[in-house]
Amino acid sequence: MGPAIRTLVVDDEPTSREGMRLLLATDPEVELVGECSSGRAAVAAIRECVPDLVFLDDEMLDLEGLRGVLRAFEVNAVDYILKPFTEERFRAALQRAKQRVHPWRPCYRDRLPVRSNGTITLLPVREIEWIDAEGDCVRVHVGKTSYVLRETMKVLEDELDGARFVRIHRSTIVNLDKVKELQRFFRGEYIVVLYNGATLKLSRGYRDHLEAHLGRAL
């Protein structure tokens, strides 16, 4: 079994959300990452959680920019369910959605083998703060420690989850979860400030790339 399908439920009726929540809880292939009762909350949740699958009340589509953000994420309806729905009908729709999601979902690395003092450690990628180029290798930064890997920036950019790890410079990839703020610099450049106090440069050439991941212009 592969990684769980990250699923978001969007419905303004509490009973409908509860019913879907209970049904989804019995499926080991599904991880419920959130429930939303308004278009505004759904927009924020989709941008933050980047779900694989969204159950959406179609009456909410035109609310608070929800249609626009779904179009931006290239989400397409694969089925519909009329209320009140039966468990059998819900599971049939869920199965169709799973068949649609599984073939297209990329497989990202969740650990990197790093060497230190003759020992190889499997480093969880969520702990990585940023990565920078170092000759023909890369240096991975975690807190006050860093590790050199015999990988290229391009390989890591392709193998790490692009929703979290973003190229901000030809020599730098940053974990967005570790970013505290962006500070204007000059000539369209920004300084990326991490929670640990480290500062990185966002070059003009990668500004559009970061804006696309953030879902807003800088």
Residue 11 has pLDDT above 60, yes or no: yes
Once rounded to an integer, what is the mean pLDDT over residues 186-211? Answer: 88
Residues of the chain with CATH 2.40.50.1020: 111-214
Residue 171's pLDDT band, with cuts at 50, 70 and 90, is very high
**pLDDT value at residue 146:** 94
CATH 3.40.50.300 describes domain 5-104: no
| Cβ-proximal residues to 189 (8 Å cutoff; 6+ apart), any chain | 201, 202, 203, 204, 207
**pLDDT value at residue 98:** 82
Alpha-carbon span 215 to 218, nearest angstrom: 10
Once rounded to an integer, what is the mean pLDDT over residues 179-200? Answer: 90
**In this predicted model, which residue has the larger pLDDT, 29 or 88?**
29
Q: Residue 214 CB: number of other CB atoms within 10 A? A: 14
Residues of the chain with CATH 3.40.50.2300: 5-104
Of 19-23, 119-123, 171-175, the range with the highest mean pLDDT is 171-175
Instruction: Outline where DSSP puts E strands in the chain.
Output: 5-10, 30-36, 53-56, 111-116, 119-124, 130-134, 137-142, 145-149, 165-169, 172-175, 179-184, 190-194, 199-202
**pLDDT value at residue 1:** 55
Once rounded to an integer, what is the mean pLDDT over residues 18-47? Answer: 87
**pLDDT value at residue 72:** 45
Phi, psi angle pair for 153, to nearest 5°: -60, -40
Pick the CATH number of 111-214 from 1.10.1740.10, 3.10.20.30, 3.40.50.720, 2.40.50.1020: 2.40.50.1020
Cβ contact 58:80 at 8 Å? yes
Alpha-carbon span 15 to 21, nearest angstrom: 10
Residue 97's pLDDT band, with cuts at 50, 70 and 90, is confident
**pLDDT value at residue 89:** 80
pTM of the model: 0.54
**In this predicted model, which residue has the larger pLDDT, 194 or 217?**
194
